[in-house]
Structure 1
């Protein structure tokens, strides 16, 4: 039987104090991306409707705030880097894309449930392009639900969760939309909300994060 691991989400560049309460996520290794049965099944629930205009206005205000108050450290990163999400997952390839506001990751078997009166989601994460990629079950509270327009023009409803990740020895916490990224360049996409805290992207190079190049 797999043991569930309670993993504290890493704060953005260790910015939060240890006394501040941090919502926990849970991770457990899976076989072939399936639930091992060691995790009790909660009843699915319907999420509260999302005020799209309010969410969009908040994101635009966040963009403006960072334009007026730029970060101090500006590391040079490649357009593709190795990223580790959570504590149990393997390193996976991530595409760094400043054209996307919110980060995204490949999620399978996504299921919503309720815990302590709050909407949570469980999903398995792995690299769909790697046959030997080990799946990790992650459970995290739902931050919001995003409506994304697909390439065919249809709208898709996606859960947004906040997770810790590590890149080149730096630990951050950011929002990720849960998405089927099968067939895409990388199973993880790092958007500009996260890149603000990381630095510039050199679109002609890869794997610069471990080299600690700063401008």
Structure 2
């Protein structure tokens, strides 16, 4: 059920991925991107329509990596911002942005050259959020990422 009043968020927000134990990862909101993506390494397809990958919540320190095993929602060809096509796995998980917890699909990709470890696209933003591109960290202060115990 959509929120009657959308939550105001900035172009960059500190969010949580509670199912994966990731807290305060920085995500860029991108209304120009249809789908969402997360920075991962070491992707391995497993039997039973599953995929294993490592999430690097903080690449700067080289720490805060966690290994995730998730169901593959689907695979598809995605065209990146530079025009190249890649086949990508998509997985689903819950995301917490401010007071909103929502199940979204994430493309597993390499974003090591990008400032933000995660990208929230239109499908994740629709119905629940209003983006103020002049602000950042509107739902809570920017904090260092961490893994819950």
The interval holding the TM-score normalised by the smaller chain is 0.7 to 0.9
Per the alignment, residue 6 of structure 2 pairs with 74
Structure 2 unpaired stretches of 5+: 142-149
1:153, 1:202 → 2: CA distance? 27
Per the alignment, residue 111 of structure 2 pairs with 181
Structure 1 unpaired stretches of 5+: 1-14, 16-69
Per the alignment, residue 89 of structure 2 pairs with 159
Verify the 8 A CA contact 2:20 2:68 in the aligned structure 1.
no
* Higher helix proportion: 1
Per the alignment, residue 106 of structure 1 pairs with 39
Q: How many Å apart are 1:88 and its aligned residue?
A: 1.6
* Root-mean-square deviation over aligned CA pairs: 2.0
* Higher strand proportion: 2
2:36, 2:87 → 1: CA distance? 15
Per the alignment, residue 26 of structure 2 pairs with 93
Secondary structure of the 1:194 match is helix
Per the alignment, residue 59 of structure 2 pairs with 129
1:120, 1:99 → 2: CA distance? 29
Secondary structure of the 1:100 match is coil
Secondary structure of the 2:57 match is coil
Runs of 4+ aligned structure 1 residues displaced above 4 Å come to: none
Q: Which has the larger radius of gyration?
A: 1
- Report the number of matched residues: 140
* TM-score using structure 2 length: 0.84
Verify the 8 A CA contact 1:110 1:124 in the aligned structure 2.
yes
